[in-house]
Amino acid sequence: MNQNSQSDNKIIPTLNPVFAQRLSHRNNSEHTEVWNILDSVFDPELPGLTIWDLGILQDVRFENKQWVIDVTPTYSGCPAVETINQDIAAAMSQAGLDNIKINLVLSPAWSTEMISPTGKAHLKSINIAPPHQDDVVECPVCESKNTKVISQFGSTACKALYQCNDCFENFDYFKHF
Amino acid sequence: MNVEQQNLFRFLVGLGDDAVVLSHRLSEWCSNGPYLEEDIALSNIALDYIGRARMFYQYAAEIEGKGRTEDDIAYLRDERQFTNLLIHELPINDFAFTMVRQFFVDVYYCEYLKQLCESKDERIAAIAAKAVKESRYHLKRSEPWIRQLSEGTEESRRRIQAALVELENFVGELFIMSDWEKELVEAGIAVDREKLQAGWDQYIQKFLAESDLEFPDSQLQIRGGRDGIHTEHLGHMLSDMQYVQRVYPGLEW
């Protein structure tokens, strides 16, 4: 084991401030059960990733006898927004909460910093390289950092297409944004 | 609407028109790209611009308060009512032309939107904050493409140079302000585009010099977009873009 990897092991993982703020907002909310209901809503293009973990679920509150749910789009033209709204409405309705309003908020603009650690781990488990601050892209299959970009856009607006120079696997990279 | 609201409405529709028109042009590459990854990339950029157009149109419709929707604004207006800057409406031509246009507007939007983030109108600032991140990413792609094509074959280089000459005629308009837009600048809502030209020129000239490409010094300044005066190309484009809504009014997906 070389010097580098030894010091890597000593780093204690900490939450990034942006996600920490989201988490504390959720934990301090009095509507825990509603946040939990919404944990059953997944992004339609990222199988198994909840809207909470993706970072687009921003707030849940009860206002004027109505449940208000704040959602921020990842990319401004993301075609999944409509589907996500329908899925939110369906999940709420199934839990008996029919009077809802889904608010599209633009500010603060979504960033990959809002993705939860669970979300990043999940991305890797479905062979999508999670976003990295300095765009150091690690192959999700063999973990080599010796990778190259094939196209800045992959199957969706939020992903780029990469190839691993070691195991030759083609994979999606969730762009740091 | 009072005068301020009228100005704001025009401003928002203009920005929405810029975005929707360029988006449609980019989408024309869908299934026609030089290879699959490029095809997908151009379509994804088109998608970013559609999102941008929607945000501006939605806000414009609210300001107007006549019950029009974003779709009404996009699909039910005629050529002369569109107020996009002309560079956005030019046909896609060849891949070199499409990429030079993209490079030109990416450099422009990176600075324009950055300044628009400071708008006193919070909603406009929020839209700009979202869009500027996207334009920065677009530039990361368009710039290397120009370099690559200029260093490619004689033919790719010739095409890049030809596109530069043609497009330069439409650059001047990006930096021309009308009186009503200047009023919005004074109110702290809009950006003074005149002040962006020097920075744009400098960026492009430096890049082209590095790639050993000539920066054409155009004496021609084709303008009129913000006043609804267009090139011959927009009408044809709209007949394509608006066809379904015109033939089946109110049709939904």
Tens digits of per-residue pLDDT, B10-37? Answer: 999 999 999 999 999 999 999 998 888 8
The answer to whether the Cβ–Cβ distance between B141 and A152 falls below 8 Å is yes
Q: Which residues in A lie closer than 8 A to residue B47 (C-beta atoms)?
A: 75, 77-79, 157
Backbone φ and ψ of A41, nearest 5°: -100, 125
Alpha carbon distances (Å) from B72 to B53, B58, B61, B234:
13, 10, 9, 18
- Mean pLDDT over all residues of chain A? 89
pLDDT (0 to 100) of residue B244: 95
Asked whether B151 and B139 are in contact (CB, 8 A), the reply is no
Mean pLDDT over residues B224-228, rounded? 96
Which range among A42-46, B66-70, B174-178, B183-187 shows the weakest confidence by mean pLDDT? A42-46
Mean pLDDT over residues B170-184, rounded? 96
The answer to whether the Cβ–Cβ distance between B134 and A155 falls below 8 Å is no
| Total-model pTM | 0.90
Pairing of strands A159-164, A170-174: antiparallel
Q: How far is B212 from chain A (nearest CA, A)?
A: 25
Asked whether B90 and B233 are in contact (CB, 8 A), the reply is yes
The answer to whether the Cβ–Cβ distance between A152 and B129 falls below 8 Å is no
Tens-digit pLDDT profile for residues A95-109: 999 999 999 998 888
Q: Is the pLDDT of residue A29 over 80?
A: yes
Mean pLDDT over residues B90-106, rounded? 97
Q: How far apart are CA B162 and CA B32, in angstroms?
A: 21
Tens-digit pLDDT profile for residues B32-79: 988 888 899 999 999 999 999 999 999 999 999 999 999 999 999 999
**Contact status of B45 with chain A (Cβ, < 8 Å):** yes
pLDDT (0 to 100) of residue B55: 95
Pairing of strands A159-164, A147-151: antiparallel
pLDDT (0 to 100) of residue A8: 53
Q: Is the pLDDT of residue A10 over 80?
A: no
pLDDT (0 to 100) of residue A3: 47
The answer to whether the Cβ–Cβ distance between B47 and A155 falls below 8 Å is no
Q: Is the pLDDT of residue B137 over 80?
A: yes
For A177, name the nearest residue in chain B, comparing CA atoms only: B133
For B19, name the nearest residue in chain A, comparing CA atoms only: A77
Q: Max alpha carbon distance in chain B (Å)?
A: 57
Domains of chain B, residue spans: 3-247
Whether cis (ω within 30° of 0) applies to the bond prior to A108 is yes
Domains of chain A by start residue, with CATH: 17-114 (3.30.300.130), 127-174 (no CATH)
DSSP labels, A19-84:
HHHHHHHHHT-S-HHHHHHHTT-B-TTSTT-BHHHHT-EEEEEEETTEEEEEE--SSTT-TTHHHH
Q: How far apart are CA A133 and CA B238, in angstroms?
A: 41
**Contact status of A149 with chain B (Cβ, < 8 Å):** no
Which ipTM value was assigned to this complex? 0.80
Asked whether B23 and B50 are in contact (CB, 8 A), the reply is yes
Which residues fall within 8 angstroms of residue A54, CB to CB, at 6 or more apart? A43, A46, A74, A114, A115, A119
- Mean pLDDT over all residues of chain B? 95
**According to CATH, what is the number of the domain B3-247?**
1.20.1260.10
The letter for the amino acid at B249 is: P
Q: How far apart are CA A29 and CA A17, in angstroms?
A: 18
pLDDT tier, A2 (very low <50, low <70, confident <90, very high otherwise): very low
For B20, name the nearest residue in chain A, comparing CA atoms only: A77
Q: How far is B219 from chain A (nearest CA, A)?
A: 36
Which residues fall within 8 angstroms of residue B221, CB to CB, at 6 or more apart? B169, B172, B173, B176
